[in-house]
């Protein structure tokens, strides 16, 4: 049984635990929050008796084998390294860190201590994404990838009223590219690797983060266009265009369906059953890797996480987004 602790008592942690409860060899044994009251309240919901308000104590504790980190982006690196050095396996919410330098630090800590580090990017582990990977050869030479993840943030209303919450605060390494753009970039990197050239534009908000943006990515024989936004809404599918046809993916942030539209007018449904909560698959992958004694996932691998972050660093450089974490 893998005993896991959680850092962060927000909705994403609840969503993760909803999926994780279906993983046979995973058990929630500890909860961290900055306040004892919050930690007790959250732990009580899940029948957990061990709580922490001190991360060093949690890392040193023998009540956990692994930790799931769902704190603000700017805290990921420091917290992950602390637990990796304590020889605890780490599943870290996306984006894994504030920048590529931090990702490298985290990878180094995992390798030095012989423990698993994995970015909690759920979409690339889900069955329908795997189905896309298995069927992509059917569309012939791929020429274009277009993906969009535009989801109006409920916190934007507060922002417009003058309250800058974490989601729009550069102190927390947040913004549209970091929080949503990664969902369109990570699958691209898993499928096609790192591009040769990145051209980015974005709409900056007064707080110092981007509200929306788009990136053109060039490869030897294909190009990709990705769009993301926290200030508009869109339900546009993702399309992978090949010379023989196109693959359409519904909801790139957590693929629910996929189909092929062939050039001759025929269509093929390549959707596969996904009967578990969306975050079950990443929890299952994480536990499976620990049991196999592996230090990284083949899918959400170190190189995929690092390449994605390097693209985001370059996009931020072009748009002019600077985080306090970049200066440290």
287 found inside a domain: no
- And the tokens for 217? 């990515």
3-state helix, strand, coil in the chain (%, to 5): 40, 25, 35
Alpha-carbon span 278 to 20, nearest angstrom? 10
Examine the domain organization and report whether 317 and 183 are in the same domain.
yes
159 found inside a domain: yes
Per the DSSP assignment, residues forming a β-bridge with 267 are 261
Structural domain range at position 9: 2-120
233 found inside a domain: yes
Alpha-carbon span 221 to 267, nearest angstrom? 25
136 found inside a domain: yes
Confidence of residue 96 (pLDDT cuts 50, 70, 90): very high
Is 2's pLDDT higher than 90?
Answer: yes
Examine the domain organization and report whether 273 and 146 are in the same domain.
yes
Sole residue written with tokens 């096609």: 192
Examine the domain organization and report whether 85 and 170 are in the same domain.
no
293 found inside a domain: no
Report how far Cα 230 is from the mean position of its chain's Cα atoms.
Answer: 16
DSSP 186: H
- And the tokens for 55? 């991360």
Q: What's residue 328's pLDDT?
A: 78
Examine the domain organization and report whether 202 and 232 are in the same domain.
yes
Q: What's residue 195's pLDDT?
A: 98
Q: What's residue 164's pLDDT?
A: 84
Alpha-carbon span 240 to 259, nearest angstrom? 11
Examine the domain organization and report whether 165 and 207 are in the same domain.
yes
284 found inside a domain: no
Examine the domain organization and report whether 58 and 136 are in the same domain.
no
For 135-149, write each residue's pLDDT tens digit: 999 999 999 999 999
* % pLDDT > 90, the chain: 97
Choosing from 120, 138, 166, the residue where a domain stops is: 120
For 9-68, write each residue's pLDDT tens digit: 999 999 999 999 999 999 999 999 999 999 999 999 999 999 999 999 999 999 999 999
CATH of the domain at 262: 3.30.360.10
Examine the domain organization and report whether 207 and 312 are in the same domain.
yes
Examine the domain organization and report whether 113 and 177 are in the same domain.
no
Examine the domain organization and report whether 82 and 130 are in the same domain.
no
Q: What is the total count of domains within the chain? A: 2
Of 261, 259, 281, the C-alpha closest to 271 is 259
* % pLDDT > 70, the chain: 100
CATH of the domain at 83: 3.40.50.720
Q: How far is CA 119 from CA 114, 155, 310, in A?
A: 16, 25, 15
Q: What's residue 136's pLDDT?
A: 98
Examine the domain organization and report whether 23 and 130 are in the same domain.
no
71 found inside a domain: yes
Q: What's residue 24's pLDDT?
A: 94
Which residues, at least 6 apart from 50, have a Cβ–Cβ distance to it below 8 Å?
5, 29, 30, 31, 43, 61, 63
Of 76, 97, 74, 83, the C-alpha closest to 55 is 83
133 found inside a domain: yes
Neighbouring C-beta atoms of residue 310, cutoff 10 Å: 17
Confidence of residue 163 (pLDDT cuts 50, 70, 90): confident
Examine the domain organization and report whether 14 and 138 are in the same domain.
no
Examine the domain organization and report whether 194 and 316 are in the same domain.
yes
């Amino acid at each position: 049984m893998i005993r896991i602790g959680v850092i962060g008592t927000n909705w994403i942690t609840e969503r993760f635990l909803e999926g994780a409860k279906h993983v046979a060899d995973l058990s929630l044994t500890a909860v961290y929050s900055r306040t004892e009251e919050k930690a007790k309240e959250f732990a009580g919901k899940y029948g957990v008796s061990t709580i922490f308000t001190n991360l060093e104590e949690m890392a040193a504790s023998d009540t956990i084998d692994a930790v799931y980190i769902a704190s603000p982006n700017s805290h990921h690196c420091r917290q992950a390294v602390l637990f990796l050095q304590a020889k605890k396996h780490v599943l870290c919410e996306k984006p894994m860190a504030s920048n590529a330098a931090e990702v490298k630090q985290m990878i180094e800590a995992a390798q030095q201590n012989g423990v698993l580090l994995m970015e909690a990017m759920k979409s690339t582990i889900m069955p329908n994404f795997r189905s896309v990977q298995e069927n992509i050869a059917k569309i012939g030479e791929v020429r274009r990838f277009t993906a969009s993840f535009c989801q109006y943030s409920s916190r934007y209303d507060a922002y417009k009223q003058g309250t800058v919450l974490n989601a729009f605060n550069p102190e927390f390494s947040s913004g549209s590219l970091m929080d949503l753009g990664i969902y369109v970039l990570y699958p691209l990197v898993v499928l096609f690797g790192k591009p040769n050239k990145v051209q980015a534009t974005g709409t900056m908000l007064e707080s110092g983060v981007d509200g929306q943006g788009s990136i053109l990515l060039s490869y030897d024989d294909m190009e990709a266009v990705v769009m993301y936004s926290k200030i508009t809404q869109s339900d546009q599918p993702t399309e992978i265009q090949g010379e023989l046809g196109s693959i359409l993916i519904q909801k790139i942030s957590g693929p629910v369906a996929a189909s092929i539209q062939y050039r001759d007018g025929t269509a093929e449904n390549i959707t596969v059953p996904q009967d578990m909560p969306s975050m079950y698959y990443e929890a299952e992958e994480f536990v499976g890797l620990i049991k196999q004694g592996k230090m990284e996932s083949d899918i959400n691998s170190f190189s995929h996480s690092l390449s994605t972050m390097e693209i985001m660093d370059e996009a931020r450089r072009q748009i002019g987004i600077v985080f306090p974490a970049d200066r440290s």
